[in-house]
Amino acid sequence: MNCNHLRYAYQTWVYEADAPLAAIQSSVQNGFMTDTLRPNSLDAFWMPFTPNKAFKADPRMVVRADKMHYYTPEGRAILDATSGLWCVAAGHNQPKIVEAIRKAAGELDYAGNFNMGHPLAFEFANRLTGLLPDRLDRIFFTNSGSESVETALKIALAYQKARGKPGKYRLVGRERAYHGVNFGGMSVGGMTRNRMNFGPMVSGVDHLPHTHDITRNAFSRGQPEHGAEIADVLERLIYLHDASTIAAVIVEPVAGSTGVLVPPRGYLQRLRDLCTKHDILLILDEVITGFGRLGAPFASQYFEVRPDMITLAKAINNATVPMGAVAASREIYDTMLASSETPIELFHGYTMTGHPLACAAGMATLDVFKEQRLFERAHEIAPYWEDALHSLGDARHVIDIRNLGLIGGIELEPRPGKPTARALEAFRACFDKGLLIRVTGDIIAMSPPLIVEKTHIDQMVDTIRGVLQTLE
């Protein structure tokens, strides 16, 4: 479908869904919908992480979603193998969540949380603590994963100062990490393209090496056997900087956006032990792995590693209303309150912190997770997912397959002189064949909603195999 046809289909859908034609014509006459009807109506939106010129020449649009599928303007179903952007864990258009948002909007459309509050924020925070690891029971709400990381880093620095150790200011991230797009998250992150155009980053940051070792661990099922010793590089950084200057280490339990890098057996446990030994906070970025992605509520429980803080977002309310959170230990919270020299213990927050609609959606999402046993379901179907993914081991261009829980990564051999080109072609071809995947570099990354059925998994694998066979 060319761009003009798509615009026409999209406008037709808007007209039919939202208002009679006469009302739309009246709005146009009053100047309200002029931009929507302009021939270049795709131009105004500057799309994130997208080649805007290429997309707007050949757009891929969806206009509704339900359960496991998106739907295009012409009604074609697109199977969602990525939970949107790792975030729609309970599947699309869950009636209980939709109704909770509607009800909240009619009762309390907005209330701030600066020196006042509303019950939904307190109730949702309390309910979250029931899922989280022991004593990570102090919740600071944000609006995204990027904001959650920024908040956790600031809390780490403020906590060290509050306990009388202001010299502990350094932050340690990891190569190939993704911690959002704000300056703190980019600085501790390690994805080159996300950093290279924005100057010198935040000072006082260093990085651990990534854990990806395709030579020793290719086609591992679950956690790779080799590489736990990579965590010991933290001691080298400590010898370089001294532990008295390091405030926190932040890592993703499973690195998602960089292409599904699963931690080697024992790696996270060794990192925890080193942080404890040297009095360094450990922050686990669970924006992707939180809320059942590995078959447990959180990856920290799956790996039996207790961090000092966890960053949350995405599936926290099934991505229906922007929201994130930081879960901090009681020790951090109590120290901040006991040591503050001002009435406000943390000079940080957002206008939309703990938004009523987001909290209502979050509580309904927790109900859906429990009532539909989605965490348990993810655990039960994970072996089928693993077998299906690894059946692609002999598919054309595949050089590695990685999986854990309901996450999968299929690494393709880069096209000589054209890195990422093959994976991008696979993305477009899969979409044309009714499958939404995500690609990063030359890696196909998948994370289906936890409601996924075996027939859906079969369709995903069959589509990918067929597409790879057609690619040069």
Q: What is the pLDDT of residue 40?
A: 54
Determine the residue type at 137: D
- Which long-range contacts (C-beta less than 8 Å, at least 24 apart) are formed by 409-415? 409/259, 409/260, 409/261, 409/443, 409/444, 409/445, 409/446, 410/443, 410/444, 410/446, 410/464, 411/214, 411/259, 411/442, 411/443, 411/444, 412/442, 412/443, 412/444, 412/468, 413/442, 414/442, 415/472
Other C-beta atoms within 10 Å of 272: how many? Answer: 21
Cα(192)–Cα(372) distance, rounded to whole angstroms? 40
Element (H, E) at 371: helix 356-371
Q: What is the pLDDT of residue 341?
A: 86
Question: pLDDT by residue (tens digit) across 119-153?
Answer: 999 999 999 999 999 999 999 999 999 999 999 99
Tokens 């060290």 locate to: 160
Q: What is the pLDDT of residue 18?
A: 43
**Average confidence (pLDDT) per 10 residues, the chain, 472 residues:** 43 41 43 47 93 94 97 97 98 98 98 97 98 96 98 98 97 97 96 92 97 97 98 98 98 97 98 98 98 98 98 98 98 95 94 98 98 98 98 98 98 96 97 97 98 98 98 94
Nearest to 40 by CA among 78, 3, 14: 3
Contacts of 114 (CB under 8 A, 6+ apart): 349
Determine the residue type at 335: T
Report percent pLDDT > 90 for the chain: 90
Superfamily assignment of 3-93+374-470 in CATH?
Aspartate Aminotransferase, domain 1 (3.90.1150.10)
Q: What is the pLDDT of residue 17?
A: 39
H-assigned helices in 200-306? 214-217, 233-241, 267-277, 299-302
Cα(300)–Cα(317) distance, rounded to whole angstroms? 19
Contacts of 364 (CB under 8 A, 6+ apart): 94, 96, 97, 99, 100, 101, 317
Residue spans of the domains in the chain: they are 3-93+374-470, 97-371
Whether domain 97-371 has CATH 3.40.640.10: yes
Q: Residue 310: beta bridge partners?
A: 284, 327
Cα(311)–Cα(327) distance, rounded to whole angstroms? 6
pTM of the model: 0.91
